[in-house]
Structure 1
Amino acid sequence: MNINIRKATEKDFPAIFGLIQELAEFENGLDKVSNTLEQMYEQKDCFDCYVAETNDDEIVGMALYFFTYYTWVGKSFYLEDLYVKEAWRGKGLGTQLMDKMIEIAKAENCKRFRLQVLHWNEPAIKLYEKSGFTVDKTWYNCDIHSL
């Protein structure tokens, strides 16, 4: 079956939101998801997304990203989520999505490409290292969730 990697549109938001929830469940954090589909529509200018779509129009993967600025390097690319449905893993979709993200970051002249990965997600770590990432274990996440 052929897979098409294409830029997402608003009509894809329900499927993307479903993938976000699947990812949260996979990461044992579904209870931490406070985003909503309505919020995605309201904040659509804050992110971009590419989807992996079958020739049956089923969205089976996604890569959601945004641009940011890091004072030490300048304009940067931040990959918030890369997710492929379980039944489609191991078929190269993650690599195809990652290649597209790297292509976009280069085309946008980004000086850094950053993402986060859970320490126990070995398949993702292997994909990222294969793509050229260095896994840095020295920084901690610091968040405020109730603004």
Structure 2
Amino acid sequence: MEIKRASEKDFPALDSLISEVFPSVQFVPTEREVYFIASEMQGAGEVLMGFAHVRLPKDNVERKFILQGLGVKNEYRLRGVGSALLEKALSFCMENGALEVQLSVRTLNPAMSLYHRFGFFPKKQLHEDSIILVRKVQT
């Protein structure tokens, strides 16, 4: 498995992956969006297994990065793909001066245990079924 930052040439396959994992989400890359992809070689081609989506902070004062999305195709779940993507995304945030990383998640999302293992803790209840998690980064 290879984890790398997605480049423009990866965008068509990434768009397809996001549509498969999150059908209601549209892929709209901007200058403040960074995507990481997990892939493996199968036969003669590369197959995308999952992605992580990080939104960069609006300013350098607050330095709050947002984990906007983390998704893995069903057939690759429980194989460490999500953990590898989250680790890469968090490393990127730390290398770029993050003071904290936040994400919004449904309370019954199976990835909650993954987020807790990586040091995220509840910050704010959004709705009855969703919550903001935060991970502070040491400076």
TM-score over 0.5 for the alignment? yes
Q: CA deviation at 1:70?
A: 7.9
Q: How does 1:1-147 map to 2 (within 5 A)?
A: 3-25=1-23, 30=24, 33=25, 35=26, 40=28, 43-56=29-42, 57-69=46-58, 74-121=62-109, 123-140=110-127
Over the matched positions of the two proteins, sequence identity in percent amounts to: 29
Kindly provide the CA deviation profile for residues 106-130 of structure 1, in whole angstroms up to 9, marking residues without a partner as x: 1111111011111221x21010001
Shift of 1:15: 1.8
Task: State the distance in 2 between where 1:103 and 1:45 align.
Answer: 19
Q: Structure 1 length as normaliser, TM-score?
A: 0.75
* Higher share of residues assigned helix: 1
Match for residue 145 of structure 1?
A: none
Q: CA deviation at 1:69?
A: 4.4
In terms of fraction of residues, the more strand-rich structure is: 2
In 2, the alpha carbon distance for the partners of 1:139 and 1:80 equals 15
Unaligned 5+ segments in structure 2 are 131-139
**Deviant stretches of 4+, over 2 Å:** 22-25, 135-141
The whole-number CA distance in structure 1 between the counterparts of 2:93 and 2:32 is 16
User: How many residue pairs end up in the alignment?
Assistant: 125
Normalization by structure 2: what TM-score?
A: 0.79
Letter in 1 for 2:57: T
Q: Displacement of 1:102 after TM fit?
A: 1.2
